Amino acid sequence: MTIEFEDGFAAEKLFNQGYSYTYDDVIFLPHYIDFPTDAVSLSTKLSRNISLSTPCVSSPMDTVTESYMATAMAALGGMGIIHSNTTPPEQADAVRSVKSRRVPILSNPVFKSPDSLIVDQFDDDSLPCVIVTESGTATSKVLGYVFKSDWMSLSDKEAKLVDYMHTVDSKISVPWNYDLAQIDAYLKQQDHDFVLLEKEGEVVDVITKQEVERVKGYPKLGKGTVGSDGKWMVGAAIGTRQSDRERLEHLVKAGVDVVVLDSSQGNSIYQIEMIKHIKQTYPELDVIGGNVVTMYQTQNLIEAGADGLRVGMGSGSICTTQEVCAVGRGQATAVYKVSSIAARSGVPVIADGGISNSGHIVKALTLGASTVMMGSFLAGSTEAPGAYQYKNGYRIKKYRGMGSLEAMTKGSDQRYLGDTAKLKIAQGVVGAVADKGSVLRFIPYTMQAVKQGFQDLGASSLQSAHDLLRSKTLRLEVRTGAAQVEGGVHGLISYEKKAF
């Protein structure tokens, strides 16, 4: 005897009732498990031609993704998108910086000549030492080095470097493409405190023994996102103005692997023309369009030639677009609607914004996204731009929306089509987030939690989850306010919450 069960709702029915749902509004009902957690594969597509082993992308925000973050994201199997709130040459240099490294450690080395003085160089917490070369550039002969501790112990800060630097008494450089294990072995063999990474006679980085030991303590890294040339893959954001065509040229020369058209509302004649220009000028370069939240927007950009789509409008923690402009969509509904159309053309979807925990990632990916783009989730980490500060006993970093007035003064008003407006209206805020530590540590744990979520859904891969959803096998329900409270920590006088 066959019993027909009607438990929960199919996604198609749930998201066609006229409500705009966020991730917290909906919950998946568990399905059948016939595989272990470790059998879950999170391999995915960022765009038509770029594959990732981890479905994570760092947002092109100036407090989230520069070369350090992009290097770490590539090492984790994801991708970083370098922000465009800087000059085209500087953005291109950031792309080259990622391309010139093969370990997820970035020290941004400073070079000085022997007659130079050090003035405020060690204010940067990530800087382990200053390298002294004949001409004070990365391309000339290395003469010595000065550690931060050496400089801090000096009573005369105006002394020339030649008077107190450590001279180089043996070879302290290795090829740029050495991996972490090779660097570790070399440091132990030579008994050095640091090693220089060289590429074609130029020093591209300085790796200390302390940094190597720190990274070795994190979960083991896999192959990472590496192109056919053996270099990390990296993306960059551009706008849709005529000047961005010149920016694009800089980025292509630097070796960028994918470009993201950075706009809060991507369904515009400006973006459609830019997509067509990119595909005609650089047919081998994948371009990701957006942001979009409706099926109509989606179809327009796909027809223009977009290789991927970025979904989200007003869902970010520092975004006020929905409040200020009364336009946008709940992120769960937006991801489902856009994905349902994009899948017909084989165009991957990036769920951008609204990610606060691993459960949100599970929901975004299951609802049809191929990757998630994160801003606040990564902000405040070791790899995020900016210096740490202390406030009310917390170690924090600045985090700001690209629609904030502060970011707009740097040029980000382009993404809101407001760079020609006389009056500037903010669609974001400036805030701060607590120190999260390194993404090399917390992203692997987060992805393990995502795998456990997929196991509970009975999906051993992203494609499996998408198939279960579209076949109406996976069921959902809307959570009441009380259900959301019940689904979190409640009823305790005090507690300590640790994710791992």
**What DSSP string describes 189-217?**
HHT-SEEEEEETTEEEEEEEHHHHHHHHT
Calpha distance 160→288 (Å, rounded): 50
Residue 312, annotated as binding a ligand? yes
403 is in an annotated binding site: yes
Give every CB contact of residue 61 below 8 A, 6+ residues apart in sequence.
83, 375, 379, 400, 401, 402
Question: What positions carry a catalytic annotation?
Answer: 319, 415
274 marked among binding-site residues = no
pLDDT of residue 192: 78
Compute how many other C-beta atoms are within 10 angstroms of the C-beta atom of residue 152.
9
How many residues would you count in the chain?
Answer: 500
Helix axis angle for 67-75 and 439-457, nearest 10°, is 40
Look up residue 285 and give its DSSP letter.
S
At CA 154, angle to CA 149 and CA 158, rounded to 5?
120
Check the annotation: does 401 bind a ligand. Answer: yes
19 labeled part of a ligand binding site:
no
pLDDT at residue 123, rounded to an integer = 66
Q: How far apart are CA 350 and CA 355, in angstroms?
A: 12
Cα 98 to chain centroid distance, Å, stands at 13
Euclidean distance between CA atoms 147 and 25, whole angstroms? 52
Give the separation between CA 309 and CA 52, rounded to whole angstroms.
Answer: 16
Annotated binding-site residue? 313: yes
Mean pLDDT of successive 10-residue segments in the chain (500 residues)? 76 94 96 95 97 97 92 96 94 93 78 78 68 80 78 74 74 84 88 82 82 88 89 95 95 97 92 96 95 95 97 79 82 96 97 94 98 93 86 80 63 57 63 85 95 97 96 94 86 74
- Chain CA centroid to CA 126, Å: 19
What's this model's pTM, rounded to 2 decimal places? 0.88
Which strands form 194-199's sheet, in the order they lie side by side? Answer: 173-175, 194-199, 202-208
Domains of the chain (ranges, CATH numbers): 11-104+223-487 (3.20.20.70), 110-217 (3.10.580.10)
For residue 267, say if its preceding peptide bond is cis, omega within 30 degrees of 0: no
Q: Do the Cβ atoms of 369 and 362 come closer than 8 Å?
A: no
Is 78 labeled as ligand-binding?
no
SS3 146: strand
494 is in an annotated binding site: no
428 assigned to a ligand binding site: no
